Structure 1
Amino acid sequence: MSILLKNGNVVGSQMVSQQNILVENGVIAYLGKDTPEADKVIDLNGLTVLPGLIDMHVHLRDPGFTHKEDIHTGCLAAAAGGVTSIACMPNTNPVTDSVEVLEYILDKAKDAPARVYPVASITEGLKGDQLTDMKRLIQAGAVAFSDDGRPVENAAFLQQAMMEAERLGVKVISHCEDLNIINGGIINKGVVSEKLGLPGMDRTSEDSITAREIAIAAATDTSIHIAHVSTEGSVALIRDAKRRGVKVTAETCPHYFILTESKLLKKDADYRMNPPLREERDRLAVLEGVLDGTLDCIVTDHAPHTAEEKADFVKAPNGVVGLETSLAASLTALYHTGMLSLVELANKMSRTPAKILGIPGGKIAVGKPADLAIVDLDEEWTVYPELLHSKSKNTVFKGRSFRGRVKMTMCRGEIVYDIL
């Protein structure tokens, strides 16, 4: 069935302009001012059309932890947030280190309301002592490699992995954390951890491994992607590396440029994630990194946990959900404040992640996939956890009001979410 989307303000690669979009057979067949015939016509009445978001850092918890989330519910949450492509992290059970697990994920995702791209582990079982067969895993569908959830502690292994990934044309995504420095810390080490009497997660942990990864990339002329940047120091290291021509890219999440560790004073584990919320100077540095291009992508690090798991502030696992709130949070904090244009925001949340991962999407153009997020930029709404589509409700933005709401999402040319 062909669908004509009329009178939408389309976010292109350079500008926003009102155009009509004809969708046929899963792709954009026409883009312009004319009104071609279609089986179904939807008048968008000036709503904004963004390229479907590409979230390159998501934990779908499937296989192994489907009481928290599964591929279907994770993709439902994605669709509600305008996300049409997901890169899912490998810390599942079993770990995504084999062809069999990749086949399971891809088979379960084939009819999901979002595209799912598996990230395979760098080391077998995430144990850090033996590299996976990258070539074979790429052939089975892996788009990148990461031991996310923990670092690759052996620098020699990481260097070998980065060199092999460079040869194969894919990225290594690094979780930058020195576990010896963390030493049982559960929130940012600073004023709040001291006030609460809790072990802290020293920023040196993130900064030192970020520096190590950059040094390896520089010495070997290989690429590295730094995950979930949260510290002032890491931003500075990445900025300097880019100036020197090191092939480094990086991401952060909305909570790192919106919130600080002060939220932890509530002793609510829904505000605990890894890396943790940090100080105001870190928030401002991360924000500056987003604005000046040091940080290339905005992701969610969507990490579902059940209410029971999050009930104990000290013992709860780290992680927060974010697929349904990332666009609204970013529009509110960055676009409506005049800090980023819609084109720049679309680059951070769609075009650049597609380029880094080497996957389709990220652009609204004839012949490109009809993966679209249709948004009312001015609609105000409040985040009520119980209304989220994810199985888990552990959002840092509960009760928070945002300006900008996804009204419809199209993936593969099909409407997968619709509250128009």
Structure 2
Amino acid sequence: MSAIVNRVRNLLGCCSETVVTEIVQPAVMGDLEQSPTVPKLPYLSVQEHRTSSSILGAAGPWMFANEESATFLLPPLETASDLLAANLATSRALRKSPCLWLSCWSLWPAETAQQGAAGMPEEAGIHKTALDVALAPQLDIVAMIDQGRPAATPVFLFVPKTAPISSTDTLHARVRGLVERLANLVPFDSVPSVFGPSTVSMTFSRMWEEVTGMKQRPEPSRTMQLVHCRPRPPSSSLSAVNKGAQEGISGGAKVRSLLRIRVASLEDVKELAELLHIMTNATPNPVTIDAEAFASHLITSSCVHLLEVLEEHISSSYWRVVSVCEIARHGRRSARVGRIYTLADVRRQGYATYLLKSILDSLFQTGTTSVFAYLPVGEARAESLFLRTGFHYSEQEEFVEWAFEHAGPTFW
């Protein structure tokens, strides 16, 4: 067995921070088993990663090639040099993370793995070098739990498009390995929910209940669909929205109204915390969070854009934040829109549309080729905002969060 562990480590080029924790069981090879020319090969390997350099060194090429579906599991990047290093999957200098990643791998015939790696980015050389041997590793699933955030978050799941888990047996074998390993590493009640592609998240949730006894809620707590937007030709729509928004908001002895957009800094923690408090209490299931800690987390780990209106009265004037939009992740080629919120008393005046379109224009002008977001299914107002600003639905399956009965609502 140790020989197989060493083979997995060598094929993946594992750094010293990566723990090959166990060999789960012989892999179910799906359609390949039907071919008499393919031997019943490999075993499933579950690896444990406790630093961003470890997970990126092993799974980075797959994750960056599927950045939209891997976005919640990718570690935060602090500088342009960090971003470049992470995309090359060679960095050992990225900061340590409070996250725990578990990756599930299977060994496949090199020819089969080569077909799966055909869509990999050019910088994924560490995996291409493994293709001249009899077996090559295939990343199947990654699970991540982050216990360092100031609010409860799910176990996030990522499945690359090339993962050989089309059958129920292959999916169950891989998820079982992740669930059993995670159950040995964290307290059972520290997992409030599971979020990922619908089929995989449901399987993981049911197996977590089976292994730990933590009861799954009967209905999903969140169902989301992926939307994306790409550069569009110049149009007059932005100026039209700008004009409409600058007509001002109601109330007060206001003389005139001006707009500005800026990126939040740590000086804005208290104001952003007040907005977060409003947001968390405006949902059907209010969430209790440390608002200031969460505001600080957002500002330091993402890019929060503030749209402000200059309230100019006879005796005084001040800038008032009316809309907030978070770019939760900005990669080398793509960016993800996270939270977007407009104060209730100034809605339906074009502020959110103006802010989102301004951010999109800025991203596309600086080289971003794709912007995406996860929309809650059934929220017509959010859907209308994104569709009228140029987003389109992806053909990917729905992403679902399954919660456990012991836990309260998550906020992420």
TM-score (normalizing by structure 1): 0.25
Identify, as 1 or 2, the structure richer in strand: 2
Identify, as 1 or 2, the structure richer in helix: 2
TM-score (normalizing by structure 2): 0.25
User: Greater Rg, structure 1 or structure 2?
Assistant: 2
| Higher relative contact order, structure no. (Cα contacts within 8 Å, ≥ 6 residues apart) | 1
